[in-house]
Amino acid sequence: MKNINHNSILLFAVLSFCSCFNSYDEVEIGDQIWMSKNLNVDKFRNGDPIPHAKNIEEWLEYGENKGPAWCYFNNDKSNSSIHGKLYNYYAVVDPRGLAPEGWRIPSYYDWSGLAHYYGGWDKAKHRITGENSKFKAYYSGRRVNVLGTEGFLEKGGAPSAAYWWVSPPTPDSRAAHVLLSNSFFRYDADRSVKAYYGNSVRCIR
């Protein structure tokens, strides 16, 4: 009977687990490689936990202190399987790294490249939406800071929209997102884009 190297078996199991844990579905669009779903992590790249805001009071507190935070849409975990988590902009720019190893938060130029591949922002809107598209964009909504309400808006129904954070530096040197709605797909960086709002994140290699 052959001797069994238990250390080798243990190492193989650990490596297999890590490979599975760190694997993400991806899709090639033109010369870009995107995640095929919105980001759904609760730890930074270095392993530190990202604070989970379980209610509007906690969400407001993290925002006021300019601290990173995430939440489920409607504080309902079942929304994360399709829509991922919502993150504030402070999580996006945290030096510990929101994007998993090997990935990054897309820049304005990455999003522009995606739109250009599909023939421009207007045409791209119809090509990235839904289960049958490569990108699989859903109207995942967002979270805004509204006193007296949990602040969740625009997931399904009408109006519907998806918001993805854009990594800095942006052309406007402020917090920016890409907005997909029933009517348009565009880059936004005006004063209505607040760093303490909760948006989706879609990563690129």
Q: Give the pLDDT confidence of 148-187 residue by residue, as tens digits.
A: 678 999 987 668 999 999 998 888 778 999 999 989 999 9
Q: Rounded distance, CA 131 to CA 46, Å?
A: 32
Tokens of 158: 């009408």
Q: Rounded distance, CA 180 to CA 140, Å?
A: 10
| pLDDT at 2 exceeding the cut of 90 | no
CB 175 within 8 A of CB 162: no
Q: Rounded distance, CA 33 to CA 166, Å?
A: 16
User: pLDDT tier at 200 (50, 70, 90 boundaries)?
Assistant: very high
Q: Give the pLDDT confidence of 77-126 residue by residue, as tens digits.
A: 999 999 999 999 999 999 999 999 999 999 999 999 999 999 999 999 99
Residue 176, Cβ density class (10 Å: 0-12 exposed, 13-18 middle, ≥19 buried)? buried
User: pLDDT tier at 34 (50, 70, 90 boundaries)?
Assistant: very high
Give exposure, 85-110, as e/b (b: 16+ Cβ within 10 Å): bbbbbbbbbbeeebbbeebebbbbeb
Q: Give the pLDDT confidence of 45-75 residue by residue, as tens digits.
A: 999 999 999 999 999 999 999 999 999 999 9
Ramachandran angles phi, psi of 201, nearest 5°: -135, 130
> Roughly how many angstroms between the first and final C-alpha of the chain, as a whole number?
47
| pLDDT at 194 exceeding the cut of 80 | yes
Q: Give the pLDDT confidence of 133-149 residue by residue, as tens digits.
A: 999 999 999 999 776 67
